[in-house]
A and B are shown apart, each in its own frame.
Chain A
Amino acid sequence: MKMKQFLAVVLSAAMMLGLAACGDKTVSNSDSASVSASKTSVSASASASESTETEEKEPVTLRMAWWGSQTRHDRTVAVIELYESLNPHVTIEYEPMDFEGYFNKLATLVASNDVWDIFQLGSNFPTYQSKIYLLNDFIKDGTIDVSGTTDAFLRIAADEKGNQVGLCSGVNTYGIAYDPELFKQAGVAEPTQNWTWEDYKNACLTIHEKLGIYGSSKFDDWQAGASMGINQEGFGIGFFTKTNDGLGFTDYKMLSDYMQMRADLVDAGAYPDPGACKEISDIENDFVVSGEAAMTWVASNQFVSLCNAAGRELKLINPPRKKADGPAGVSIQSSQMLCVSQDSKHPDEAAKFIQFFQSSIDANKILLAERGIPTFTAVREALAGDLTDVEKAVYEYVDVVGSFDTGGESVNPASPACTDTIKEQYNYYLEKVIYKEMTADEAAKALYDFAASQF
């Protein structure tokens, strides 16, 4: 019976639609409901676009977006509300998002010249350089006060010409997390700061042989083998030039060794094959957590999650070097930064918020270094008291990496916009080496030529 009633309703609606000749009129009428439902957002954005750069304390609406998980969303929103209560003339509309959705939406906003006033970027910031409003002038005129941080920390959120593209939300670096107990059981010495890829390979093989587990879990191959790997060739050598306008090395063979080693370790069973790597869906079910591997690659801010998941003692050491006395290759970097967009109508207000977000002790007591280690000294000190042992280990490790000899060369934090394309190709060739469709030398040569053709 109910079905009949339902059909009757649908039917009469259908007749209306059909008899209204086109149907488009009906459509626009029936949708007025949803227009009024979303009226608030329309009027809000309208007022934002109408108000131009007039006097201060004029009401200002800023749009902000970031990616992350629930913890980050909640804490960031709390800081936004704190800022709004301190600056009643500012309203911040925010869009928390997941990583993939964030960059999809950013792409569409770039195309429509409508990027959020304040947005979050990682080390891929050069891709969006044309959309970033540089902070240089704000630092010069004091809108942003950088006296509380160091030049080194400012550098990691700057481009190769030294322009300040954003303010770093958290310092980060790469390292190897290892299980000292498993090393001991296999009779392998624990890694030191000067260990080499040769040591790494031998450790993997010995651990596999003695304990029947993987010596090492999945690495970030692009970082280990190419980006950082080339840095290890010598001071001043990098995958890209300092000015990001070409390749910073000339011998493609610099890429071969890592590829060859990866293939050998997979063959030996000391490193998970591509199929086993697919079983890792999250840092929390890495093979190190389950005890099926003795070490793994981590970003320093993931180390806490890894230790919590493993529930036993893990240690953090820098990645192996090419030569024991050569450069470590690894350097501190900005895990994320907040940037002001070129499309913003109130870049100064956006800049003030960013300054608050990174340097306010109150704000950071809410954020709790969830994005990485804060860069403002006072903030670091204020948070230092509450650190757990594992968190302290991360802070110490980041300090160690920061103190590594760079041969007097400054580290280039930016990579060119084509990095993603080259990285994708690198992983493609590496799998071909593992599946024996290419030799390591062929793959290295092909990658080198591909990378060079991008400029």
Chain B
Amino acid sequence: MLRSKTTGNESGRTPWNRFLYNNNTVGYTFASPFIIGFLVFTIIPMLSSLYYSCTNYNMIEKETFIGIANYVNLFKDERFINSVLVTLQYVVFSVPLKLAFALFIAFLLTRPSRLVSFYRSLYYLPSLIGGSVAVALVWKELFARKGLINTNLGKLGIHTVNWFGNMSAAKWPIILMTAWQFGSSMLIFAAGLKEIPSSYYEAAKIDGANGWQIFWRITMPCLSPVIMFNLIMQLISSFMVFTQAFVITGGGPNDATMYYALYVYKQGIQTRNMGYASAMSWVMLLIMGTITAIVFKTSKHWVFNESES
């Protein structure tokens, strides 16, 4: 249908035009920056890391090929297995928390009010200081044994928590910091909300829908591609969580927050077992790839795609 329209309108006269307006030509023309960039800058490093994963590369001496020994050792390495488990746990907690918070705030800040612009700046600011020394210091002082949070817990009559010393509590300062820096997700949600045509809302209002119905029938379906995007990206970035743990807990106590990317860093950079770290990365690439693929498969049932409907 679409194809016949295209041919009818603009091409078909000369072979050159037919070539120029062919879907493959147009597609590859627009996609060419990615393809070239991938071939020039990305594929070689990726393949190199795959090769290193089969060597004992230590970044100083010439590597020797050792086959799948690194992969075999990985599954005997209790620290690696632990790092995968704590990473999964982190993903399960942090992704829904951050996304729900970002969506909630983005939605609240669509109100037509002069203050909204100011509020949004307020909520975006924390995302501008990244993993700096200042953040690390504040977080340590907030969650210190005699810090602000414990003081207030004490006032409420709840006994205090040794946040950085208790193996099951240590993940919370990190998860909260992730959720706290939700600015870019919020921004993308806000942009998504902005993109919803106002005519949809007007039509729904004429039909007598209340706020709740409008949210579930109009806002959520229209926003679903953006929700999908934020979900995928948060999944990936949570699997790779590094900075927050690096600056606050350093992986401790007793490896309770030794997330996979942190362990890659420890092995690869700090103790220079780059071959081993590469193997670790490729195992995680497979795990992440599988989970991402599953989410993509389910997306057909809940992501509303305007251009394909």
Chain A 127-167 per-residue mask, 1 if CB under 8 angstroms from chain B, else 0: 11011000000000000000000000000000000000000
Chain B residue nearest in CB terms to A272: B165
CB pair A273 B165 closer than 8 Å: yes
Chain B residue nearest in CB terms to A418: B271
**Inter-chain contact count A-B, CB under 8 Å?**
86
- Taking CB atoms, residues of chain B closer than 8 Å to A420 are 270-272
- Taking CB atoms, residues of chain A closer than 8 Å to B271 are 420-421, 424
- Taking CB atoms, residues of chain A closer than 8 Å to B252 are 274, 278, 431
- Taking CB atoms, residues of chain A closer than 8 Å to B144 are 279
CB pair A421 B273 closer than 8 Å: yes
Contact partner, A22, options B36, B137, B249, Cβ 8 Å: B36
Interface window among A103-111, A293-301, A407-415 = A103-111
- Taking CB atoms, residues of chain B closer than 8 Å to A281 are 136-137, 140
- Taking CB atoms, residues of chain B closer than 8 Å to A107 are 59, 269, 272
- Asked whether B192 is an interface residue with its Cβ less than 8 Å from the other chain, the reply is no
Chain A residue nearest in CB terms to B250: A278
CB pair B269 A24 closer than 8 Å: no
- Taking CB atoms, residues of chain A closer than 8 Å to B137 are 281
Query: Which size class do A's interface residues fall under?
Result: 20 to 34
- Asked whether A122 is an interface residue with its Cβ less than 8 Å from the other chain, the reply is no
- Asked whether B112 is an interface residue with its Cβ less than 8 Å from the other chain, the reply is no
Query: In the complex, A434 Cα to B166 Cα: how many Å?
Result: 12
Chain B residue nearest in CB terms to A19: B29
Decide if the interface of chain A is mainly helix, strand, loop or mixed. helix
Query: Which size class do B's interface residues fall under?
Result: 20 to 34
Chain B residue nearest in CB terms to A130: B60
- Asked whether B207 is an interface residue with its Cβ less than 8 Å from the other chain, the reply is no
CB pair A424 B270 closer than 8 Å: yes
- Asked whether A432 is an interface residue with its Cβ less than 8 Å from the other chain, the reply is yes
Give the shortest distance, in Å, between B54 (CB) and chain A (any CB).
18
Chain A residue nearest in CB terms to B146: A279
Chain A residue nearest in CB terms to B246: A100
- Taking CB atoms, residues of chain A closer than 8 Å to B163 are 275
Give the shortest distance, in Å, between A7 (CB) and chain B (any CB).
15
- Give the most central of B29, B136, B165, B272: most A CB within 10 Å: B165
- Taking CB atoms, residues of chain B closer than 8 Å to A404 are none
Contact partner, A276, options B145, B167, B273, Cβ 8 Å: B145
Which 10 residue pairs across A and B have the least CB separation, nearest first? A275-B165, A275-B164, A274-B253, A278-B164, A421-B271, A431-B254, A435-B254, A273-B165, A275-B162, A23-B33
B positions within 8 Å CB-CB of A: 29-30, 32-33, 36, 59-61, 79, 136-137, 140, 144-145, 162-167, 170, 248-250, 252-255, 266, 269-273
A positions within 8 Å CB-CB of B: 17-18, 21-24, 103-104, 107, 110-111, 127-128, 130-131, 273-276, 278-279, 281, 417, 420-421, 424, 428, 431-432, 434-435, 437
Beyond the given A274-B164, A432-B254, please list 13 additional residue pairs across the A-B interface where CB-CB is below 8 A: A22-B29, A110-B59, A130-B61, A275-B162, A275-B253, A276-B165, A278-B140, A278-B249, A278-B250, A279-B145, A421-B273, A424-B270, A435-B167
